[in-house]
């Protein structure tokens, strides 16, 4: 039984390895990359999701940095309101450099005799895959290609008119396991530890601010809101546009859309890739159920996947969007005395904090 995956990215590489363990023959098709992968791109994976991935990739934690605490700070008239999340029994999440994780997953699949990598010369070659009857499943994991442009037009779409500016700062060695999210008058800025000496910074700015800011000014802002890092040196700054997108349907005929194609969200909560992993879990469970019942693995599983994933993905995506809108640019809409009292109440309420951690960890309550 052959399965076609489109896109040579984290999503397709994880899916390929998992499907190959079920004795499927997997072919990964991709176009030659037209853009360089961001060297400063990073991602966080929750503790719940890393446990799932570790079953298939036992060494995956080796490439990460453990995060034990999250601090949320609202800057308001030079005063700080702080909210702290931590979990004594286990880490909250793990930080990865995208390139390092990508290379590890590629290596795992290249060693796998059930996985083959195939190159497409042009976008239109995708239509040949659509007509190939040898594939039991065709799963498109690539956000910008002929299939997504052609078949995913009816969707909720919101342009944040934001850009995320990313860099990696180098600093003297510290016990670097506290992530900090600061809501500033310019936009949310996150400090995400990668190692004792490296920290990823993601700064989201609105279009009005972007027209007035240079890389040097961004470096200055990073230093201004810097929680505790000293003697900082910077890597280059990279940026990308931010959108919120949800499609009306998850599949079209014999093609299942997957990964970022079915949910693009704001990065302020670091949940984008965690949503992808939860989708992988659901698809994995559906296939295992079919195998155990002796049922065929074909495009009939697409509707079941959509049924299990779509409503939860929508609720979670709109929750992240609501958080963004509540704290958007923080133009002193929330007075300090209110935000401080609210954060103080949450900090003292273990039940609320535990529910928040659980929701971020597994994507549901």
CATH number at residue 27: 3.50.50.60
The residue range of the domain holding 201 is 2-362
Q: Give residue-wise pLDDT tens across range 201-234.
A: 999 987 766 667 888 999 999 999 999 999 999 9
339 pLDDT above the threshold of 80:
no
pLDDT of residue 329 exceeding 80, the answer is no
CA distances from 36 to 32, 200, 252 (A): 11, 18, 30
Backbone φ and ψ for 107, nearest 5 degrees, come out as -60, -40
Q: How confident is the model at residue 5 (pLDDT cuts 50, 70, 90)?
A: very high
- Determine the longest span between alpha carbons in the chain, in angstroms: 64
Give per-residue pLDDT as tens, 259-272. 999 999 988 888 99
> pTM of the prediction?
0.92
| Cα distance between residue 163 and residue 264, in whole Å | 14
Mean pLDDT for all residues in the chain: 90
Q: Give Cα 19 to chain centroid, integer Å.
A: 21
Q: Which residues pair with 45 in a beta bridge?
A: 94
121 pLDDT more than 70: yes
pLDDT tops 80 at residue 364: no
> Containing H/E element for 78?
none
Instruction: Measure the CA–CA gap between 139 and 42, rounded to whole angstroms.
Output: 25
**Tens of pLDDT, residues 172-190:** 999 999 999 998 888 889 9
Per-residue pLDDT, 36: 59
User: Mean pLDDT across the stretch 280-295?
Assistant: 97
* Average pLDDT estimate for 97-110: 95
Characterize the bridge pairing of strands 2-6 and 135-140: parallel
How many domains is the chain partitioned into structurally? 1
> Is the CB of residue 97 less than 8 Å from the CB of residue 37?
no
Dihedral pair phi/psi, residue 72, rounded to 5° = -110, 125
15/280 Cα distance (integer angstroms): 7
Q: What is the pLDDT of residue 327?
A: 74
Per-residue pLDDT band for 333 (boundaries 50, 70, 90) equals low
| pLDDT(37) > 70 | no
What stretches of the chain show up as alpha helix (H) in DSSP?
A: 10-20, 47-56, 98-110, 126-130, 146-151, 207-210, 215-225, 272-293, 301-327, 336-348, 350-362
Q: Which of 241, 242, 243, 250 is nearest to 312 (CA)?
A: 250
- CB-based contact 86:70 (threshold 8 Å): yes
């Amino acid at each position: 039984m052959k399965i076609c995956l489109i896109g040579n990215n984290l999503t397709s590489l994880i899916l390929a390895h998992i499907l190959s363990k079920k004795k499927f023959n997997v072919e990964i098709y991709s176009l030659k990359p037209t853009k360089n992968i961001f060297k400063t791109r990073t991602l966080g994976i929750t503790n719940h999701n890393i446990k799932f991935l570790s079953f298939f990739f036992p060494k995956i934690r080796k490439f990460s940095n453990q995060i034990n605490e999250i601090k949320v700070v609202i800057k308001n008239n030079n005063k700080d309101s702080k909210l702290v999340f931590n979990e004594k029994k286990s880490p909250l999440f793990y930080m990865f450099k995208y390139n390092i994780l990508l290379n590890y997953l590629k290596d795992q699949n290249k060693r796998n005799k059930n996985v083959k990598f195939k190159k497409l010369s042009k976008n239109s070659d995708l239509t040949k895959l659509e007509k190939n009857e040898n594939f039991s499943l065709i799963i498109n994991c690539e956000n910008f290609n002929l299939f997504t442009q052609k078949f995913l037009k009816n969707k909720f779409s919101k342009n944040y008119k934001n850009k995320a500016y990313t860099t990696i700062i180098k600093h003297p060695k510290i016990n670097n396991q506290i992530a900090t999210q600061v809501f500033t008058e310019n936009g949310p800025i996150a400090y995400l530890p990668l190692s004792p000496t490296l920290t990823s910074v993601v700064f989201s700015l609105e279009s009005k601010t972007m027209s007035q800011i240079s890389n040097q000014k961004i470096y200055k802002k990073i230093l201004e809101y810097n929680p505790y890092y000293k003697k900082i040196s910077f890597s280059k700054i990279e940026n990308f546009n931010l959108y919120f997108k949800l499609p009306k349907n998850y599949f079209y005929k014999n093609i299942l859309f997957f990964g970022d194609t079915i949910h693009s969200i704001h990065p302020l909560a670091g949940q984008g890739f965690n949503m992808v992993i939860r989708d992988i879990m659901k698809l994995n469970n559906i296939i295992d159920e079919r195998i155990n019942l002796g049922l065929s693995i074909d495009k009939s599983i697409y509707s079941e996947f959509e049924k299990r994933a779509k409503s939860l993905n929508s609720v979670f995506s709109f929750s992240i969007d609501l958080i963004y809108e509540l704290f958007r640019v923080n133009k002193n809409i929330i007075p300090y005395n209110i935000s401080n009292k609210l954060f103080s109440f949450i900090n003292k309420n273990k039940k609320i904090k535990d529910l928040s951690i659980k929701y971020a960890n597994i994507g549901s309550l």
